[in-house]
Each structure stands twice: as C-alpha cells, then as structure tokens.
Chains A and B, each alone.
Chain A
Amino acid sequence: MLLCALLLSLAAAPERDEPVVPAELQAELLARVLRYDRAFATFPSPTTSPQGALPAERVKVLIVHRESASSEQFARQLSAALRAAPTLGGLPHDEVLVRFTDRATLLADVQRVGARVVLFAPGFAADAKDIATTLEGRQLITVSATPRGVQEGLVLGFDLVDGKPRMLFNLASARRQQSDFRAEVIKLMTVVP
C-alpha cells in the first residue's frame, strides 16, 4: 500500500521550479524570440510624421520576484541582463522590478507600469495557474524563468535539456494572452499542452 501510494504521488511529481538556464541566456533568448510574435510586433512603433520619425514607444517589462533571496537574486540578474540588450523584440525597453504580494497588486502593477512583458522569477509554480487566470485577456506575454511555470499556465519558459536551452511554450495560454508567434519559431519550442 505504501509503495502504491508512493508511486501514485510520484507519478504526479511536479516539474522543476528552479532556474536551469542562466539569466543572461534567458534574456538574450527572450530578446530574440519576441521578434516572432506578430502581436508584439504591432505594439506601437516609431511613426513617421512630416517632421520625421518620432521616438519609438518603449516596451515596459515587469520583473516579478518572490520574497525569497534566490528569487530576488535571479530577478536582479534578469533585469541586468535585459538592460544590457539594446532592444527587446526590436523595440527599446525599460525594466521594472517588483516583489509579488498578491494577484490584485500584481494586476495593479501591470496596469500602472503598462507592462507588455511580465517575467516571473523562480518561486511562482504554485501560483502560476491563478496568475495566468488573473492576467487572462490582457495583451501581454508572461514568461517563467522555470520550466514548471509554463506547465501551470505562463506563456513562455526555459528549460535545459542535454546541456542546451529549450524554450517551452504554452499554446493555450498564448492564445488567451493574444500572442501570435510565427509557426516557424514555434517549431523550435517545446509546446506544452
């Protein structure tokens, strides 16, 4: 009985909720992959006026971390790595680092910042499903630093297989968040049902 119970519990074992891809590489992958999101590309872009090109709109990136030291450390690393990238999906960008308290506050932060991309540092596996529900219908991309976050409903995430990075993609969540990635880039991802 004990063995059966153990096996059943193990069969439902969760995926990892720790970062396995270095923050610098996650940032670089994100900066590139967002170019293939047609919805992201329609984000307000430089417009041409009779006087010439106007400054481009800047993409706001919200980086959310838990209270834990490991989560905050990774969020800071992500923020620094993103700041080093001149553009995100071809657009200039700004990062805002916030600590997660509850979903309502998160939603308020998203609205206040005008976030187009929300990055979740490690530690959100248990809440990822509810967070995805909270942000449903908003035109933004949620990104998990850990593989498990994608399983739970965030749109994009990163895993390490055979020592190489893999992008995880939650197709259903992407549709709900109005993301529209090109087929050729989805082929490079591991699609999570």
Chain B
Amino acid sequence: MTRLLPTLLTLLASAAWAVVPDGGAPDELGTGDLAGLLDTSVVSGPSRAEERVDDSPATVTVVTSAQLRALGLRTLHEAINFLSLGMVAQDPLHAVEVGARGVLLSGDYGNHFLVVVDGHTLNDSWNSTAYYEQGLAMPIELVDHLELIVGPGSVLYGSSAMLGVVNVVTRRAAEIGLLRVTLEGGMLPAQRADGSLSFAPEGFGGTGRLSLLSGWSTQLLGLPFEVTAAGEYYMHQGQTLEFGKQTGLVEGDGTSEWPQRWSTSGPAGEWGGETRRYSTRTTSFWLKARWGDVTGFGRAASYSRSTPAIDGFGAAVDFDGRGFERDRSLDFELRWARVLNPHLSMMVRGYFDTYEYLAANQSSSFLTNGVGEPPDTADLTNFTFLQESRGHASWGGVEAQATIDWLADGRFPLLLGVDGRGRHFGAANVDATMEGDIIAESNVYEVTEWQVAAYAQQRARLLPSLLLNAGRSRGHAEQLRAQRRAARSGDVDRAVGRPRQGGGEQRVPFAQRLRALRAVRGLSGSQPAADTRARVDGRARLRAAPRPASLRGGGLRVALHGADSARRAGGRPDAHRVPELRRTAEPRRAGAGGRHGGRVELRRDVHRLVYERRRRRPAAGLSVVVR
C-alpha cells in the first residue's frame, strides 16, 4: 500500500483537475464530442445495473453485434481473442479455455469465468464448465452485444466469476424481426500423411450451420408482450486425415503415450492410418418471452464432439473408435421485476438448470488407463476396452434482489440480494469389456446440498465525475465444510476436491496444511454456484450430514478513473491467488505469490488504479471512479 499511495494521491489530484462535462458551447461547433458520447457503451454486467462503461468498477470490453458481423466472428472465443482487453482464449480442440491478465488455467474448462446470458448463468451445474466455442450452443445472430468483464466479479456473481464475467445481452424481439435465417457452410479436402491434399470425394470434410431466429412483439391484455425464439444446428465433420504408420509403440515402454493399437481390429504395436474422428455437432433451442414485468427463459442444448488426438489428460483413445463427448443441458428461468415506488425496485427470479455429461471411448491402453481387474482371459498387451465417464447435476433456486434508491434520483442506489438453491450432482466412471461386462466403477458419488448467499452493493455518485461502488457478499455452502475439515487434518487431496493420490493417510507438514485450508477458503465466500468446486469422492458420504459452513471473504478494491492521456500498465494481476490455489498440494511451489497486488492502467481516456488485498476470494470490493 505504501508504494501505491503516491500513485493514488497523484490520480486523486488529477481527478480534482478533471474537466466536468458541462455541455457548454465551444467557439467552433464540432460534432466530435457528441459523436464520442454516442460511442459510449452502456453496460449492465459489472454492477448488475445499467451504467456507462467508463463508470463501471471493472475493465469492460464491449463487443457489438455490428463488430461480430463485420469481422465474421462466430463464437465467444473468437470475439475474446480478436477484440477483448485483458482476456485471452485458446482452443485445444476439446474445450476452449479462457484466461485473463496473464492467468490461464489449462484444464479448468473455462470455469473460472462466468458466462451469463441475459442474467442467467450458463456455466453448467456439475463442474461449472463454460463453453466459448460452438459448445455455447447459441446462435451468434441472437447476440446484441457482449460485455467482456475482466477481474473478479464474485461479489455479485459468485466464485465462478473469479477471473471475469462474460455477459451476453441478446437482441430484443423487435430487432430480430419475424424471421431471420442464416445458412453457411464450407468443405475441406482430405490430407495425406505427407501433408498433401487429396480431393477424393469420400475424403472431404465440411462445416455447416443453420440458425433460425424469430421475434414477435405486440400488446397482450394491455401489456407489452414479446417473444423471441431461436434454433441452431451446427455440424462439423473433419476431413480424412492420414497418419503415417508407426510401429513399436508397446504399452509401458516409457517412450510414448500413444495407444499401442490404432484400432480395435488393428495389429498390436502398430499405430497410424486414416481417421475422420474430428467432429462437432451442436443443436440448441432458445425461447424467451416477456410480458409486462415477467420474463421467461428456456434453453435446450446438446453438444457432442470428438477430436483426433489424445486429450489433455492423457486418455489414449483409438482413432477410429467410437469415442465422443456429449453435453446436454436444459435451463429455465422465470423472472419478475418491477419498480414499486421511486425508492424501491424489486426483482425475483426462480431458475432450474439440469446438465448431463457423457464421455465414451474405446481404449487399448489398459495398463495406463484401466481401473480394476480385467477379465482373466484378457491379454493386456492386446486388450481393448470401453471407458465411460458420466456426470450429472441439477440445481434449482430463487434469487431475490431489491434496489433501494435512497434519494430516489439514481445517485445512491443500494443493491441487496439473496440467492438460495438446492443442488444435486453425481458422477461415475465405468470400465467395461467390449461386450459390455463391467470391469470396474470408480469415482462414484451422488451429493445433495444447499447453498445460500447474500450480497450487497452500494453505489454513490458523490459528484458528477466521482463515483463510489462498494460491495460485500457472504455465502454458505455445505460441502465446503467437509473440505475445510480435510484441509485442517492435512488431507490435501480431499481439501482441493481431487481423488486421493495413492493409499493410506496423508500426513503433511503444518505449513502445507495451512495452505490447503487457505485454498479451501479461497473456494468459498460468494454466491452459491457449482463453481464452489465442492467435488467430493465417495468417502465424503460416510460422514454425518454436513451442516452449512460459514466462510468469509474479504478484500479491498480501489479503482480510479480520470481523464488524461498517459499510457502505462503493470503491476501484479489481481488473479495472482489463482495459481497459488492450484499449487497448494505441491509444497515446492507453495508460498509463491504475494498477498496483495496493485495495478495501474492509464489509457487515453481512463485512469484506473486497482489495489487488492485478498486472503481469500474477493467477496468484498470497493471502487472509486472519477471521470
């Protein structure tokens, strides 16, 4: 803080000199200032209320539908990579991963970002996975604009908003029109092992997409009524790819993780041949209706895919096997919002989301990937078996939100909210013979829990160019209690929610125990969400029914905006605690990273200073904005 104080004072001084826009008449009337004002984006994500983008307490990039059209962007991750400030996405072919401010957690399935569509969270209820590619199952034509919000948003959104929030605002019915059809496609020739192209018809792959949108609006019983319906089918079938023959890839030789056989019928020890395993299929239906103060939302989506590669977690699959992953989800929401009087507005929403995951493949690497005892007759050097991973989760809840406008003029609104939900989730991994006989089941669990959280945010426009935003949240989540206990006892694996490595009790040094406890606390302290990452294995069910655990978060966030033209960026990213959380179980790296961080961004039109001190999750925040 001592090092940041001079900068803070400097920015405050510059703010004092900031020119207040007064609309005065200049000598030479140009329209530049008016055009600039018309180019100001209005965002609703950072404070969960409409405000100018430069009044918001976070760094926000707004991507408009016009930009999406002009640049030919079709997915969120393309928009993030092309146009965002401070965010980056990478596509490892199975699930796009997104990071911000230098932190991208490989293998997190994007679950440190929250994807919100018209106020409804689309991260799944099982593992909080968020999709940014076609897996989002959303016609891009439905998007009015995207708000890419960098920085922790946990105070208002829960802990999946750890690195940021992607707020998708859809078009209104009147803007869509009665019918909007998009049809597009393309073809790819086959590729031989030497890299040359083959134009044989049977080797071609292709991509096709059909989306239908329809919007209607009218008056119904004296109230405005509008309904938007959308559907999309996306299909990508990869072209034929030929991989050169390789031999000698024997299980356990320590030189390769490739499967020892190319296919279930191929000769053992030989890898290579033709494959058409790269495919993606997405089907989705959206329905949104609004009648007066009531808004209803529904979505059904299916996303299946397979990739011609060993996945990032080392699962070796046969290239011409029937391996695939599939996500299916159903989402519903009913929302009521009304201004009750000039001082009080209310919003209540009920929601229900259900999600199912299935990954199935054929593997010939039993020694590496199999679980349990194979059949006595199995020759493990020449044994192909089925692997299936299933997961499912559902949650339903109610969120109530009140906005108290103390002076009834929009300058001092207080946002109060409470969100409670019940959640059930489970999983099972199954190994089976090709005939369907189960070899082993592992990682089997079924968990039911309750989560509840409350949050508050006070905004204040103290002067026309000085704004203050302070927030605080507190949450309760049952499963975190077991994890906290595990952390105290030094059971690091359970504490961070991963399968135990090896057998027997784990006893670890006190310092590592402390870090584990801190990591668990880092998982909590915000609105309930699957993102609490409260994964537990079967052993947790043996415990007595867990009671809600109360875990607090704390922090300080100061953002200062001004009007100057300097440009500087630096400091420590405010997500620096994330890698530490991941490193908890690895003593050699633990302890890296400070407990506080500061960041200064001085752009042409915005000053923003962020200082954060976070022992846990940023469940509290303070923002001061000066324009």
Contacts and interface: CB of A to CB of B under 8 A. Distances in A.
Given A25-B40, A70-B338, 6 more contacts: A6-B216, A13-B216, A14-B218, A25-B52, A28-B23, A164-B38
Interface string A17-54: 10001111100110111111000010000000000000
Interface in B26-40: 29, 31, 33-35, 37-40
Interface string B338-349: 111110010000
B34 A86 contact: no
11 contacts: A15-B174, A22-B51, A22-B52, A28-B21, A76-B342, A79-B409, A87-B22, A164-B39, A164-B62, A188-B31, A188-B35
A14 B219 CA distance: 8
Interface of A: 6-7, 9-11, 13-17, 21-25, 28-29, 31-36, 41, 68-70, 72-73, 76-77, 79-81, 84-90, 160, 162-167, 182, 184-185, 187-188
A25 B405 CA distance: 18
Interface in B1-56: 20-25, 29, 31, 33-35, 37-43, 50-52, 55
B472 interface: no
A13 B218 CA distance: 5
A184 B23 contact: no
B410 A81 contact: yes
Nearest to A41: B25
Contacts of B43: 163
A89 B62 contact: no
B22 A86 contact: yes
For chain B, which range describes its interface: under 10, 10 to 19, 20 to 34, or 35 or more residues?
35 or more
Given A10-B178, A87-B22, A70 B339 contact: yes
A185 B31 contact: yes
- List the 8 closest pairs (A to B, CB-CB), nearest first: A31-B23, A90-B25, A162-B64, A80-B409, A163-B145, A77-B410, A70-B339, A86-B22
Contacts of A10: 178, 216-218
Given A73-B339, A84-B464, A188-B31, A165 B410 contact: no
Contacts of B62: 163-164
Contacts of A187: 31
Contacts of A81: 410
A23 B413 CA distance: 14
B327 interface: no
Contacts of A165: 37-38, 40, 42
B178 A73 contact: no
B43 to A, nearest CB: 7
B66 interface: yes
